[in-house]
Structure 1
Amino acid sequence: MTDIARPTRVRWMIVAAVFVTYVLMFIDRVNISIAAKYMIDEFGISSVEIGMIFSTFVFGYALFQIPGGWFGDRFGPRRVLGFAILWWSLFTAATAIAGDIFLASWIGVVGSFALVRFLIGVGEAVAPPNGARTIANWMAPGERGLAFGIIFAGNTIGAAIAPPLIVWIMVTFGWREAFYISGAVGIVVAALWYWVSSDRPAEHRWINRAEVALIEGDEREGMRADVAEVGAWWQLFRNVRLWCLTAAYFAVGYVLYLYFAWFYLYLVNGRGMSVEAAGVYTMAPFVVSAICAPLGGRLTDRMTRRYGPGNGKAALGIGGLVATAVFVVAGAAVEDVRLAVLLLALGAGGIYASMAAYWAAAIDMSESHAGTAAGLMNVGCNIGGVISPVLTPWIAGIWGWATALYVAGAVAIVGALFWLPLIAWRRQGEKMPAISAG
């Protein structure tokens, strides 16, 4: 480390590296949904079988959230996240040959594709909790909200650019080449992550002592008096407030996956848009979310400094879900299609404006086990993500699309209620009670 008065800004380079990882993660997550048409034609796979292949990714992704977080806590995010990026990138490339390799002769073409997608899900599951572990290690408490807001903007940018990018690659070069290119880019990202990152700020070769002091200084020590620490990682499972946070994040997943899975078809089938117009307007929620995520992260930091880690984050969590419920219900009720798109896009923005509050709150549960805590919380999101794509079309088929959106709004309101136990009121001069296990 060099010793100069002005702090370096290596921590923001680390945040940028995590951001790039999140963009890649979402591109590799959705590319198969675009390639599905070619796979159906070439291998004679049915729509139901394609759905099964999609589901195996979600299963692997949900199953390995907690183990992925534990590995990051135990061995450090530099090695664990680097290996995870390499892992899912190799299997992304392997998707191109999954229907042809010898494995398909043993378990069938569908089984071969499903296994590869499951293994991609296993690798991607490691990224979010290790992103949280990285932020916990590298950012002062007063900067974590903005850091999380930036990296979650990567989700929305990845979701927005993936369809046109992957379509162009498939039309120009072929559907297999899209997976080869995605895999090759991922290998480069894994190498870059390992090169530019370190587990702790003090270990980084480019940082100076002033920045280390800024990250690990008085603000972090002051915040530790207001948050909890636990001994063994498994004691997190006794933390009632962490389970409440997980339940609130279930509501986030339920609403969010409605946008990922059904927003396009809602505009076509529920609102009567043309295929071309719906393709353009489908980007609206992700554009709004990309703006709202860093703004919400910045607001999370300010609210936390002003009202404390419990009250500040709870205000953003409750406000985000309530705003989402209002916008989603209003969007379902209005007649004008463009106004509906705007309101529903603002509903997605409400989710992403509060996203940083969830992940920063998970770190508050226990800094030493931040990856495990974040992994447990994210399981809740993915359970919601499994239920929403199935339940939404079922409700729409019986009662209509408006009712399906009303239900999503109701889920958001219920989710907001689970933030209430995280509120820790304190009088002036009185320490905030620790977030205790149990």
Structure 2
Amino acid sequence: MRWLILTLLFCISVVTYIDRVNISVTARQMMPAFGLTDQEMGWIFSAFVTGYALFQIPGGWLADRWGARAVLTGALVWWSLCTAFTAMAAVSPLAEAVGIVGALLAVRFTLGMGEAVALPTFNRAVANWMPAGSRGIGIGIAIGGIGLGSAVTPPIAAWIMVNWGWQTVFYLSAVIGLAMAVLWWAIARNHPREHPWVRRPPAPEASPQAADSQFHTLWRLLAGNRTVWWLVLSYSCLGYAAYFYMSWFYLYLVTVRGFDVLTGGLYASAPFLAMLIGCPVGGWVTDRLAARYGITAGRASTGMAGMTAAGVAIAFGGFVESPPAALAGLSLGAGCLYFTVGAYWASTTDLSKAHAGTLSGLMNTGANLGGALSPVLTPWIAAHWGWPASFAVAGLVALAGAALWWWIDPGKGLNSVTRDQ
């Protein structure tokens, strides 16, 4: 059942990134249809990220309080309906009131609110279902769906857009999301002991703390453990680099590197396939290193190595002249970025299992605040100093994220803050 739950989370992760990345492909037809500039499209991209960032902590708290089953089902329904509305926002009464750009900003912001619940809830589910020595690979598999969803979306969305129009991309995405909501509700439970298919569930853990005691423990963790804040800052660096791939990568291949619409959609999947491989592999590696050398060494070595390699590969991809070499470098950079995901997310559970959803929501808030800057700053830097400069900045940010792992010590959560987790 653990692996079935992880499979469902993986599939939902695929859906989240179908709904997130599809607009980066449909922008090719949306922009001329509505007279949108690159800068306006950048603001629309960032509206999603802003809503996504602001609601990470509430999403994690909801998962800690009410459990993964109900919270994730509701979130799936919410963001699937918002995805469908994206197709009609420009001709809706909302557009008449606030304009086309305003309507698209609003719908992408509310879509981000719904999807913000997903990853912290994944972490809550993994904390409940996976044993301590397998949480890195557990969250790596769950979040690895990001790679598959982002890989299949550009070529499929481009083909659907060319044959049936860009609106159809959003409608089909919404149907898939609603189907996954039904499947998750039918199969998932919050804990193994609640599931009728688990014949020999693990023994119950210690009795839950009272709400005021839980809040007190969380406050002590946030106020007294600098690792939390270094973790948030480092993951913000990952978010800045990662969101280039989620927003501008397809358009970069088509408009800067000279690929046509369909070929660009095919090649745009390469970084996301690298993420699909890097995410679970990195989770497995960090679990093995943590078991052999201790939690802090296992998490930090994985995070530092992956972020360093990512920074170098991204900068190389931006400066190299050959389009195939650029594609290879940037794809490797994406895989290295997501190689670190298991280390980051498992660290939040290492710090406090009881607050895994809230802490991971806080960490992912940082990633998405960094990510909100990327879609806007990337074209601005490119317009003033060229696209290689945009990639140089992203690479330096990734290297800064690697350096911050020197101060991240997830093992402290077990010893000095909350022994009972």
Same fold (TM over 0.5): yes
CA contact (8 A) 1:236 1:373 kept: no
SS of alignment partner, residue 419 of structure 1: helix
Residue equivalent to 1:112 = 103
TM-score (normalizing by structure 2): 0.88
Matched, 1:62 2:53: yes
| Correspondent of 2:400 among 414, 417, 426 | 414
Shift of 1:108: 3.2
User: In the alignment, which of 207, 219, 222 is matched to residue 237 of structure 1?
Assistant: 222
Name the SS for the 1:256 alignment partner.
helix
CA contact (8 A) 1:230 1:366 kept: no
Residues 282-308 of structure 1, C-alpha deviations (whole Å, 9 max, x = no match) = 322222221121111111110111112
Query: Matches of 1:65 and 1:35 in 2, distance apart?
Result: 26
Equivalent AA in structure 2 for residue 212 of structure 1: P
1:345-424 equivalences in 2 (<5 Å): 345-423=331-409
Match of 1:13 in 2: 4
Counterpart-to-counterpart distance in 2, 1:259 and 1:305: 33
C-alpha contact (below 8 Å) 1:268/1:274 kept by paired residues: yes
**Residue among 311, 329, 348 paired with 2:315:** 329
What is aligned with 1:91? Answer: 82
Q: What is the DSSP-based 3-state SS (H/G/I as helix, E as strand, rest coil) of the residue aligned with 1:206? A: coil
* Structure 2 match to 1:7: none
Provide the C-alpha distance between the structure 2 equivalents of 1:95 and 1:164, rounded to a whole number of angstroms.
Answer: 20
What is the aligned partner in structure 2 of residue 223 from structure 1?
none
SS in 2 for 1:381: helix
State the distance in 1 between where 2:297 and 2:191 align: 29
| TM-fit CA distance, 1:160 | 1.0
1:77 aligns with 2:68: yes
Instruction: Point out where structure 1 has 5 or more consecutive residues left out of the alignment.
Output: 1-9, 221-228
For residues 218-238 of structure 1, the C-alpha deviation after alignment (integer angstroms, 9 at most, x for no partner) is: xx9xxxxxxxx9744444432
Matches of 2:10 and 2:411 in 1, distance apart?
Answer: 34
Q: Distance in 2 between matches of 1:276 and 1:44?
A: 22
Q: Is the 8 A contact 2:271 2:332 kept in 1?
A: yes
> Does residue 156 of structure 1 match 2:147?
yes
Superposition deviation, residue 109 in structure 1 = 3.4
Residues 377 and 99 of structure 1: is their aligned pair in 2 closer, same or farther, counting only changes over 3 Å?
Answer: same
Write the distance in 2 (CA, Å) between the matches of 1:335 and 1:145: 37
Question: Normalising by structure 1, what TM-score?
Answer: 0.85
Letter in 2 for 1:363: T
For 1:132 and 1:387, the matched residues in 2 are separated by 25
360-369 or 93-102: bigger deviation: 93-102
Offset of 1:417 from its aligned partner? 1.9
Partner of 1:293: 279
Task: Check conservation: 1:305, 1:312, Cα contact below 8 A.
Answer: yes
Structure-2 change in CA distance of 1:158 and 1:72 (3 Å): same
Question: What residue in structure 1 maps to residue 122 of structure 2?
Answer: 131
Matched, 1:255 2:246: no
Change (3 A) 1:432 1:198: closer
For the pair shown, which has the larger CA radius of gyration, 1 or 2? Answer: 1
Whether 1:205 aligns to 2:196 is yes
Q: Is residue 2:302 matched to residue 1:311?
A: no
Deviations 1:255-298 (A, max 9, x none): 11223333345555665666665444332222222112111111
**Change beyond 3 A, Cα 1:259–1:92:** closer
> Which amino acid counterpart does residue 128 of structure 1 have in structure 2?
L
Residue matched to 1:224: none
Q: Residue 374 and residue 88 in structure 1: after superposition, are their counterparts in 2 closer, same or farther (change >3 A)?
A: same
Shift of 1:409: 2.3
Once the two structures are TM-superposed, the CA of residue 385 in structure 1 deviates from its matched residue by: 1.0
| Alpha-carbon RMSD | 2.8
* Cα pair 1:230 1:236 within 8 Å, conserved: no
- Cα offset, 1:410, TM superposition: 2.0
Partner of 1:186: 177
Query: For residues 99 and 264 of structure 1, do their structure 2 counterparts lie closer, same or farther at Cα, with a shift above 3 Å needed?
Result: closer
Q: CA deviation at 1:245?
A: 0.5
Instruction: Return the alpha-carbon distance in structure 1 between the equivalents of residues 333 and 131 of structure 2.
Output: 30
Q: Which amino acid aligns with 2:123?
A: A
Which of 138, 157, 164 is matched with 1:166 structurally?
157
Q: State whether residues 424 and 433 of structure 1, in contact with CA within 8 Å, keep that contact through their aligned partners in structure 2.
A: no
Stretch of structure 1 that moved more, 168-177 or 309-318: 168-177
Secondary structure, aligned partner of 1:191:
helix
Q: Distance in 2 between matches of 1:138 and 1:435?
A: 23
Asked whether the 8 Å contact 2:352–2:418 carries over to 1, the reply is no
- State the alpha-carbon separation in 2 of the partners of residues 27 and 291 from structure 1: 18
- Give the whole-Å Cα distance in 2 for the aligned partners of 1:93 and 1:279: 22
Please say if residues 64 and 125 of structure 1, whose CA atoms lie closer than 8 Å, have aligned partners that are also in contact. Answer: yes
**Contact 1:99 1:109 survives alignment (8 Å):** yes
CA spacing shift, 1:212–1:76, aligned 2, 3 Å: same
Preserved CA contact (<8 Å) 2:50 2:369:
no
